[in-house]
Amino acid sequence: MAFTKNTDRADTSDKCSGATNYIGDVFFDNMLEAVTVRSPVRRGIIRNIVTPDMPKGYLTVGVDDIPNQNQVSYFRDTCPFFAPGKVSYIGEPVLLVAGPDPATVRKLAKTIHIDCDPIQAIHSLDEALKGDKPPLYGNDNVYIDETFAYGDVDGAFSKAAEVFETETRTGYQEHMYMETQCVVAVPNGDRLEIHASTQGPHALRKVVADALGWDHERVRVVQYPLGGAFGGKIELPFFLAGQAAFAALKANRPVRIVYTREEDLLTTSKRHPSRVKVRSALNSEGNIIAMDVDVVFQAGGYAMSCVMVLDTGLKKATGVYHFPSARVRGRAMATNNPMPGAYRGFGAPQTFFAIETHMNALARRHRLEPLKFKSRYFISQGNSTLTGGKYHFPVALPEVMQEAVRISDYQTRRKQVKADGRIRRGIGQALFNFGAPFSLDTSSPMPPRYMGLLKHMDGTVEILSELVDMGQGLHTALRKIVAAALEMPIERIIHHDADTDCVPEASITGASMSVVLFGRILVDAAEKLKPRLHEPGEIKVQAQVRQPEHLQWDAAKGKGDPFHSYVWGAVIAEVEVDTLTWQVSTTGLWITLDVGTAIDRRIIRGQIDGGVVQGLGYALLESMREDTMTNSLSDYIIPTMLDTPAIKSTLVANPYPPGPYGAKCVGEPPLVGVAPAIADAVADACGVEVYRLPISPEYLMQQMTKSS
Amino acid sequence: MTRTISFNLNGAPVKADAAHETRLVDLLRNNFGLTGIKEGCGEGECGACMILLNGFPALSCIMAAGAVEGQQVTTIEGLRSSPGFDILAQAFNDAGAVQCGYCTPGMIVIAYALLRDDPAPDEQTIRSAMAGNLCRCTGYAMIVEAVTLAAKRRGEAW
């Protein structure tokens, strides 16, 4: 099956004309607006909450209004809807004020005083590791501590001729979806409807029902078009939906929470700040005999999904390399900071920045051509993974690297003169892979999950899935796959935004798994429907979600194949550094990816361009202080049209047999390699290593001063 | 305290009662139901709330509603029936310039004004003119290509 033609998306026309209704554009009768009253301190015990008398029709909603449990049931660790008598970060929700007039609600919220007995706060991951403040979680502030290893790492280090160590640090990265968080809870008889901008309708339904102590079926989640998400609309909507639900049931009216940009920046999830130490042991011939990686994430006041984000990042921490022995340890630390969470790349941007920066610095130290040096350790098909699994399918890493080198004319550019008056030029590269989806235990049966197809009376076929189009074009890609499997025109295939009353539970949409895994399940469903297409009337078929047959994963031991499939990629970046201002500008970006079979090249290019520019922001611009002072779009700078160079991207075809028509994923990978490639280019231009993100003028000036 | 504001909205004279502190974006969205205008930042940084004020791009989230007294306001809804809009929307489709769509109405508004004043802008002109409109999905290149494409197809649309 060749997917040679780009398909027009069904949502473009309404999005252009402004006719698309996001949840914030919908007004319900008698709807109340709710504003969140938040902790003014980083850490303390709530002694008293002073609330003024509420005018008629206005109310407050807090911990005492939660019918069942003050816990987002999606998470393993404590994650309350409202502060449970104590607060753990500035901005933690304490209560809501709700009422008919938004301006009045905001004024009332400002008059509420939260009186706290302060406790010494833990400000950073270094303070959390040091442990000289009262612990916030357990007795050591560690949400999770896990290690993956093979071979005799300590033995290799004890006999090493050279040990090379680097330490990289990265900060928060904010998703900065253009549509801020918004949800509306609507009481309806003995049921409750949640109208939401979420990446996981069924997961959201469960969280709200569990908090209410209701059967899940009594809650209905209606999905609206998402104004961007990038991982930022998995976790936060749980909190907003629960809070709005408590208020809606108390007031018996629809209640809406819509975040201002300031609230969204201060209190929603972000990429975890990190510190990664990488040590390599080399023998007397200069070959790496062991790699030891120590990852620490700053994981905020409550754990949320840090366990999964860290775990995924760790499994990717040895990069595209197979070393004779390796060990990766990771810890996620509790601190009194806003809660980080899922963000495009899911732990990998931090660990790939660390390993690629280490390998590039090591090559420079040994005066070796970096790509040639790195290719000594390339993973090849049949190699074992960090977790003792196997790279089952062809590894297109050499092809991807050669293609990126070709399209960027890398070797010629490397030889260019670096200095040109006050401007210095440099070129850099980074190699990466991206495993997805993450594996579920294969020794026990998976919970039953389904994808469905419904043939309507008029012959159109509707995809019954809760998977979310958050702008990435997923519904178009899935429609295209189903159209191919049914040999029908794509115009006859429909995919609506989800309504949990109408579509079965499958999964949250994220982790780059939708096309590669659920696309395949839709092919299964299509194979059931195809012989029955000529039958009259409505026909509904379902296919159960199953993992591919090659997979072996023991979740308890952390052994086996951690991911179903791997995307391979290479990024080349060219920069100019102004030695007067230490401002870095990117003058060229080239990226080559193996995404298996390309289902729609125009959509894939959109994912690549967008991911690369988010990676560019991560590398150079996006900086957020951990003390929550970064609260506006004029403080938190994302790339504009003037900050982005031409991006040239190409694909290498390396079909993945278990994927739908050989497709892998594309959502997250393009972001991952950009920051290390830009850092390498800056290092090439300036002759100093770059170990921080973002590469601010201040940091670069410091590095230059240190080296001179 | 409220007062009555009279202005021309998408070609028709209108009146609205608004409190002194009402922002234009709220007046247009709440009183007139013009929800094609989006609020992304509330401080004039992102361009999602862009409108045309007497034909020139303006940001409705940092304007007092009263500021449009006696003026002409055009929103994305007002552009829908123009031939220029059709060309732009088709070009945005063809170039793959739309992902989540939240920034798109603002992008179309500014592109509409740009192409009216400059029949054949080069890439740098487009990037400079539209640098106040943020997009987090596309990385911008496909939007720039869409505007270039629309300029090529402009015909007599402007």
Which residues in chain A are closer than 8 Å to B142, comparing Cβ atoms?
Answer: 605-606, 609
B138, A606: Cβ pair inside 8 Å? yes
| Residue A249 near residue A192, CB atoms below 8 Å | yes
Q: Going from the N-terminus, what domains does chain B have, and what CATH number goes with each?
A: 2-78 (3.10.20.30), 82-152 (1.10.150.120)
Phi and psi at A453, nearest 5°, equal -130, 140
Q: How would you write the pLDDT of chain B (158 residues) with one tens digit per residue?
A: 789 999 999 999 999 999 988 999 999 999 999 999 999 999 999 999 999 999 999 999 999 999 999 999 999 999 999 999 999 999 999 999 999 999 999 999 999 999 999 999 999 999 999 999 999 999 999 999 999 999 999 998 99
A16, B128: Cβ pair inside 8 Å? no
| Residue A527 near residue A44, CB atoms below 8 Å | no
Q: How many CB pairs under 8 A join A and B?
A: 170
Q: Tokens 């008629």 sit at which residue?
A: A56
Minimum Cα–Cα distance from A636: chain B residue? B45
A634, B128: Cβ pair inside 8 Å? no
pLDDT at A707: 81
| Residue A187 near residue A208, CB atoms below 8 Å | no
Which residues in chain A are closer than 8 Å to B51, comparing Cβ atoms?
Answer: none
Planar angle of CA A550, A552, A553, nearest 5 degrees: 145
Parallel, antiparallel, or unpaired for β A450-455 and A461-464? antiparallel
Task: Give me Rg for the CA atoms of chain A.
Answer: 26
Please name the member of A8, A471, A640 whose beta carbon is closest to the beta carbon of B137: A471
Minimum Cα–Cα distance from B21: chain A residue? A103
DSSP per-residue letters across A28-60: -TTPEEEEEEE-SSSSEEEEEEE-PPPPTT-EE
Q: State the nearest Cα–Cα gap between A453 and chain B, in angstroms.
A: 25
Kindly tell me the burial class for residue A628, based on how many C-beta atoms sit within 10 Å of its own C-beta (0-12, 13-18, 19 or more). Answer: middle
Q: Read off the tokens for A412.
A: 């010629």
A12, B141: Cβ pair inside 8 Å? no
Please name the member of A13, A178, A634 whose beta carbon is closest to the beta carbon of B100: A178
- Mapped onto helix, strand or coil, the DSSP state of residue A220 is strand
Planar angle of CA B53, B56, B62, nearest 5 degrees: 55
A674-686 vs A348-365: helix axis angle to the nearest 10? 30
Which residues in chain A are closer than 8 Å to B75, comparing Cβ atoms?
Answer: 18
Distance, CA of A570 to CA of A315 (rounded, Å)? 19
A11, B101: Cβ pair inside 8 Å? yes
Q: State the nearest Cα–Cα gap between B6 and chain A, in angstroms.
A: 23
pLDDT < 70 positions in chain A? 1, 627-628
Which residues in chain A are closer than 8 Å to B46, comparing Cβ atoms?
Answer: 178, 633
| Residue A290 near residue A324, CB atoms below 8 Å | yes
- Choose, out of A6, A15, A233, A630, the residue to mutate when testing the contact with B (most B CBs < 10 Å): A15
Distance, CA of A614 to CA of B136 (rounded, Å)? 7
B100, A470: Cβ pair inside 8 Å? yes
Q: Tokens 């050669």 sit at which residue?
A: A402
pLDDT at A1: 64
pLDDT at B93: 98
User: pLDDT tens across A212-248, in order?
Assistant: 999 999 999 999 999 999 999 999 999 999 999 999 9
Q: State the nearest Cα–Cα gap between A124 and chain B, in angstroms.
A: 28
pLDDT at A284: 98
| Residue A171 near residue A273, CB atoms below 8 Å | yes
Phi and psi at A196, nearest 5°, equal -145, 160
User: pLDDT tens across B75-94, in order?
Assistant: 999 999 999 999 999 999 99
Residue A642's CB: how many other CB atoms inside 10 A?
Answer: 13
Q: Going from the N-terminus, what domains does chain A have, and what CATH number goes with each?
A: 23-119+176-267 (3.30.365.10), 378-439+558-708 (3.30.365.10), 447-544 (3.30.365.10)
Which residues in chain A are closer than 8 Å to B83, comparing Cβ atoms?
Answer: none
Distance, CA of A471 to CA of A506 (rounded, Å)? 19
B100, A175: Cβ pair inside 8 Å? no
pLDDT at A418: 82
User: pLDDT tens across A98-154, in order?
Assistant: 999 999 999 999 999 999 999 999 999 999 999 999 999 999 999 999 999 999 999
Distance, CA of A147 to CA of A540 (rounded, Å)? 46
Q: State the nearest Cα–Cα gap between B35 and chain A, in angstroms.
A: 6
Distance, CA of A332 to CA of A296 (rounded, Å)? 6
Which residues on neighbouring strands pair with residue A146, listed in sequence order? Answer: A330
DSSP 8-state secondary structure symbol assigned to residue A637: -
B93, A13: Cβ pair inside 8 Å? yes
A697-707 vs A674-686: helix axis angle to the nearest 10? 40
DSSP per-residue letters across A306-339: HHHHHHHHHHTTTTTB--SSEEEEEEEE--SSPP
- Mapped onto helix, strand or coil, the DSSP state of residue A605 is helix
Q: State the nearest Cα–Cα gap between B101 and chain A, in angstroms.
A: 5
Q: Read off the tokens for A280.
A: 């390599």
User: pLDDT tens across A253-263, in order?
Assistant: 999 999 999 99
Q: Compute CA distances A514 → A447, A466, A481, A521, A666, whole Å.
A: 17, 11, 12, 10, 10
Smallest Cα–Cα separation from A414: which of A708, A680, A643? A680
B133, A641: Cβ pair inside 8 Å? yes
Distance, CA of B7 to CA of B15 (rounded, Å)? 7
Residue A581's CB: how many other CB atoms inside 10 A?
Answer: 11
